[in-house]
Amino acid sequence: MSKSVKQFIRIIKADPGYWGVLLIVFTISGICLSVFSARQIFFSLNSIHTLYLDTFFQNYTLLGDGVVSIAIFLMLLLAERWSLAVQVLTAYLFSGIVSQILKKAFHAPRPHAIISNAEYPHFIEGITNTGMNSFPSGHTTSVFALATILALNATDKRFSIIYIITAIITGYSRIYLGQHFLADVTAGALIGTFSGLLVYWYLRQVKIEWVSVRNEPTLI
């Protein structure tokens, strides 16, 4: 077993809760995607809609916006948590580039591009987009990259559970708002998670001087 693989294994073993939840989510998503069609899953996951939930998810989904990652990056700079700030920014940029390349390569339709208002009356005017850039979900990619970086740097691993739950709900918000199918969100989660893990591992390899996480307060 190579040194790099051993390092990845040690990183994952350090936070079994975070990676365990991720494994369960990806397993369930994989089973659903292999058994049911994209439309069937979309309708099943969107069986309940209320005005309150519409408002809630329209705001909650902003956690996957790049502005949030940049804001957290700036907060970390102000708190002089240089190493974590570099990780957050690098993971955001790397995952975003990968996501945009795949969007252009796959040119996949968004739900509203192939599902009419008559079939699904819960598309939200002014919020739900159409078009051919659905795969993968950019918001999901961004929030999972951020959650992974924060979890890897968390001293108290109870925070990592909060991060992953926050990311999962953000991913679901993209389906609830009619912006993406489950496959788009799952792919975004995979890309974001892998990006965060890769950035965390790589920056350690190039021996960037880390500020000790154990001596710093958790901001997020």
The pLDDT value recorded for residue 121 is 93
Q: How many residues does the chain have?
A: 220
Per-residue pLDDT tens for 3-52? 777 878 888 888 999 999 999 999 999 999 999 999 999 999 999 999 99
As a whole number of angstroms, the distance between CA 183 and CA 181 comes to 5
* Residue 151 located in a structural domain: yes
% residues pLDDT > 70 (the chain): 92
Inside any domain, residue 220: no
Residue 81 lies in a domain: yes
* Domain contains 44: no
User: Which range among 72-76, 129-133, 208-212 has the greatest average pLDDT?
Assistant: 72-76
| C-alpha 18 chain-centroid distance | 13
Per-residue pLDDT at 209 exceeds 70:
no
22 CB burial (10 A radius; 0-12, 13-18, 19+):
buried
Residue 210: pLDDT above 70?
Answer: no
**From CA 168, how far away is CA 181, in angstroms rounded?**
14
Residue 59: the pLDDT is 96
Q: What average pLDDT score do residues 200-215 get?
A: 61
Computed over every residue of the chain, the mean pLDDT equals 91
Give the residue, 218 or 17, on which the prediction is more confident.
17
Query: What is the structure's pLDDT at 207?
Result: 53
Whole-number pLDDT of residue 128: 79
The pLDDT tens digits for 136-191 are: 999 999 999 999 999 999 999 999 999 999 999 999 999 999 999 999 999 999 99
Per residue, what are the HEC states of 123-189?
CCCCCCCCCCCCCCCHHHHHHHHHHHHHHHHCCCCHHHHHHHHHHHHHHHHHHHCCCCCHHHHHHHH
Average pLDDT (38-67) is 95
pLDDT score for 186: 98
Residue 215: the pLDDT is: 43
- Residue 129: inside a domain: yes
Domain membership of residue 150 (yes or no) is yes
Residues spanned by the domain of 88? 3-36+51-215
The number of beta carbons lying within 10 Å of the beta carbon of residue 209 is: 6
Please report whether residue 118 resides in a domain: yes
pLDDT (0 to 100) of residue 1: 63
Please report whether residue 46 resides in a domain: no
The dihedral of CA 55, 179, 85, 213: what is its sign?
A: positive
Q: Based on the structure, what is the number of domains in the chain?
A: 1
Task: Band the pLDDT of 125: cuts 50, 70, 90.
Answer: confident
pLDDT in tens, 82-115: 989 999 999 999 999 999 999 999 999 999 999 9
